[in-house]
Structure 1
Amino acid sequence: MELTSSGLVYALAAAAVLALLATLWLWPRLARQRPLPVLGRVALLAAVQLSVLAVCGLTVNDTYGFYSSWHDLVHPGGSQLALGPTGSGSGTRGGPPQSDALVQPTTEGGLSTITDLPQGKPEEVGRVDSIRVVGKQSGLSDQMFIYLPPEYFNPKYSRERFPVLLTLAGYPGPALHLLSELHTPTTVWDLQRTGKMAPTIVVMARPTVAAPRDTECLDVPGGPQTETWFAKDVPAALRSAYRVSRSAESWGVLGYSTGGSCALRLALRDPAAYTTAAALHADYQVVSQPWESGDLFSGNPGLAQQYDLAWRLQNLPVPKASLLIVSTRTEDNFPATQQFLNATAPVTAAHPDLKIDSLFLPDGGHSFDTWRREFPAALEWLSDHLAPAPDREPRG
């Protein structure tokens, strides 16, 4: 049974009720002050408390997504893996899964709980898979989902490579929120079949690779190398397993909340990996929260400044990138968004290779209700700015 399944919560809730009833029934029979009755009362109290705590813990985890699978719970902080050479025939290309493959099929993540996926044959509506991606440089691994468009399965496009869009959830949400709350596969399929979005491979992931720590998608000194994971490991793994473009101009990243902040940082700090980003309700600086992220910069203010996006664009070489800032005029950080746009306006005027667009709704908060309204427009914008894959699969 999946860690995030509602069935597990109901089963433990039933166990808690049974433990309580057993306590009420057996307590009078264990009233004597002898060792065995005392141990019996202690055992009953422990069973009730542990089952109630388990239900509370699972409910909180389902809501906030600290751990998306039993693998996360047993191996907190991401898997540190020693890898051998990676073969080119991973299971995603049709061959048998390889233990050393960088992309491996998995049942993690809760894909079976999603009921509104595009229905039909893969060559008609595409396909959503749950995969585990392994990083060689960062030593991290994580579960994510991938949507392959119907053209991917069409023999007519058998030598074509496809653009890639990495979508990122917020903190501490799981990648599953991109399916259950934003309905990413269905939205992408609707846009693609109506001609509003080009055939694109969409990867759904979370920024919380080192769960439950919020690393803000950066390389923590002496800690998780999350920026390396997203900028180097994820593209390398996907290129080893799928027909995806090898050009950064065909790779984009979109996220909401913390995922949106990560999207902007990746496009501005790692343009060799992603040149296009759309951010829904993002932040433009990294502020360490001791209870969530710990010290991300080892007390180095100069390193923290490197992640101030406005400062970076004003003081460091300006990359070639296209950014979309999406928010609402009632969002708490709307003044910070205006400040960022005002500060970077002279930079974009002087550097035509950097383009920053913005889209603001008149109202809405930091919630899925608002992000669902903004999501289709952001996807269309990204598709307009992602370059078609310039390369093809070799014959043979």
Structure 2
Amino acid sequence: MTGFAPLTPVHFSPAVEDIQPDEPATARELADTMLQIAEKTYSDSGHAIRCVHAKSHGLLEARVEVPEGLPPHLAQGLFAQPGSYQAVIRLSTTPGDLLHDSVSTPRGMALKILDVDGARLPGSERSTSQDFVLVNGREFNSPSGKAFLKNLKLLAKTTDRMEGTKEFLAKILKGAEAALEAVGRESAVLKAMGGNPETHILGEEFYSQLPLRYGDHIAKIRVVPASENLKALAGTKVDTSDDGNVLRHAVQQFFEDEAARWDLQVQLCLDLEEMSVEGVEAWDEEKSPFVTVAHIIADSQPAWNEQRADTVDDGMHFSPWNGLAAHQPLGSIMRLRKLAYERSAAFRSQRNQIPVTEPLTCPFGHGAPGQSIRPQAGL
């Protein structure tokens, strides 16, 4: 491959993180708040669902292809050698309750790349996969761990209550967000509360928002539409007025006849002062552009059904802490989320008929059940 600009990325070392002494207490409080959401939805329905990103819109079999010829600063970790991997994609929206799609919140893409080799992150030693958890916004919606906890507590108080009020409020918030975007601005807070534009989920770009180790370096991750049929969906409106599952139905309709291709890209940290590991601000793409290091391909398939929901929504976890040591999550918010991911998966696994397990192969490829190993922690 050619055309890669010369860069001098920051070299990773443990010293790039600034770990505060009160983080364990904040992490416990964050996990407790997450479980309040799970306990509320479980008491109402008798079924344990995720504390966040509870509603899935697409559950896809995919493959991740790492091309030949990546330069040394990009050929790192999972991407150090060319190859092809099986993968699972889960498309979702952020709330911890199952809402009508007219309450339009940020969208997520969770990517699980299967059967990868390498030293593991603590707690994921029995797994052989690498997870990337992504959202359709460049910046995390809270400026700090404590602000994240405060916002989560507010969210927990509204879980599974007054859905009609949420739908009405979402209309107001979407109007406010549209006004901001008309003048080149956006609000992560408005989007998180239900003001995300009502667009087709397959046209979205998805971001890690927060940094992670990238082998010898530090990076943020992005997944962007690469095939023309996905690019054509960018900004395309969907009508949520009558169909509470319009996003799911749109994904199902797309994959009835079409395949999709995304590019997985990395943005390398070049300066710790301007590209903070502990901060949530988006890094300057002019100074360090996102560069493609792999391709994600999903062929035509049943993109969502009850069997897949049992397998993935109930039986699978996605966590940035499930993966290779070469892709360790970095920064305070990533550290604070680790315990919440672990306890959320344990909560679901202990209460549902289908335990949370870690797949060794794609669990629904060609209709065949996949193998799994003992339950793993995650969200």
Higher helix share: 1
* Category of TM-score, reference length = shorter chain: under 0.3
**TM-score w.r.t. length of structure 1:** 0.23
Higher-RCO chain (CA-CA 8 Å, sequence separation at least 6) = 2
